[in-house]
Structure 1
Amino acid sequence: MARAGLTTERLVRAGAELADEAGFEQVTLSALARRFDVRVASLYSHLRNSQDLKTKIALLALEELADRAADALAGRAGKDALNAFANVYRDYAREHPGRYAAARHPLDAGAASASAGGRHAQMTRAILRGYDLSGPDQTHAVRLLGSVFHGYVSLEMAGGFSHSTPDSQESWTRILEALDAVLREWPST
């Protein structure tokens, strides 16, 4: 019988909190069991193993990010939408570093199809339609945006910009301006 009060959702949320506090790589069933002061065996009626927990945290993070992005994009287009979308990712990574790392966790085909990843792709492509990009150019632009957002956020979170000037916010603003310019003047094939 499952220990009273333990549910899959409660365990996944606690795992996400643990990821934010200690790092996503530190999330294990043992660490989660210590948090609830139970034996690891008590968790098996809710989670198969640590990989299952990490997958569920990744799905939670993708859903949270998609919800935030959808709210931020409502009524926006063009550069305003691009900036809002980028800032959602950066702010989420700053607020929830472990969950942000989880959102990059590889998912098997079944989990990926059940994830909010499709919502992220739809929102990104909707932004790009405001730049009159379609087909393969949209795919290239999606990859460009993902690379820039994730690369910048990862370097910033690792302290890569903390001891230099101008400050990272000024660089972020200039990078978003440059991305807007690139998207408006996308090279033809």
Structure 2
Amino acid sequence: MSNANSLIILDFETTGLSPDQGDRAIEIGAVKLENGEVVDQFQELMNPGRPVSGFIEDYTGITNAMLRDAAPCKDVMARFAEFIRGENLVAHNASFDKRFLDAELQRISLDYSGQFACSLLVSRRIYQTAPNHKLGTLVKYKGIQSSGSFHRALYDSQMTAQLWLAIIDDIQHQTGHTQTPFTLMQKIAKTPKNKVTEFIGKYSSAKI
């Protein structure tokens, strides 16, 4: 059984919203958790082969000057594929990051074996009274200390990791279980919000 507190949490910064429209990754950041502790991290800028827009420069703080001397995407992604080898993966709004991970690795004929879970989807079900479920809002909602700038890949992955561990802790308090399987988090993400309390109750009683 894979535990939800031993995996890799990642975040991409990109030139736009869709690799299907030709957008590329410009930064990858990730932290590796083992039993709820950060044991390793990965962060690199990558040159997408063309200039990024002024909007992306302002949004991320990543400038064309910074990217000019960065390694090309193919080199960075080859190193990242090795970093995530055999690990399950989490991202906040995972569908976005998974699309870019898949697209960039496909370009260099590499793949990964881990499964994805989405901290955004899980948080919508566990923290239904939060003002919204943006990463920065949830960090404040849970009282997680933060001192960096959001929309940089490593910092966002670090904050997502702290949020993910807080979610796990809250689920364990609700269930009375001391271990949280990764598959449970995936199931919670897919459970309708009005059914989550019932679902967790059944899990607490070991009926699922």
Band of TM-score, shorter chain = 0.3 to 0.5
Higher normalized contact order (CA 8 Å, seq sep 6+, divided by chain length): 2
Q: Which has the higher helix share?
A: 1
Q: Which has the higher strand share?
A: 2
TM-score w.r.t. the length of structure 1 is 0.36
Structure number with larger C-alpha Rg: 1
TM-score w.r.t. the length of structure 2 is 0.34
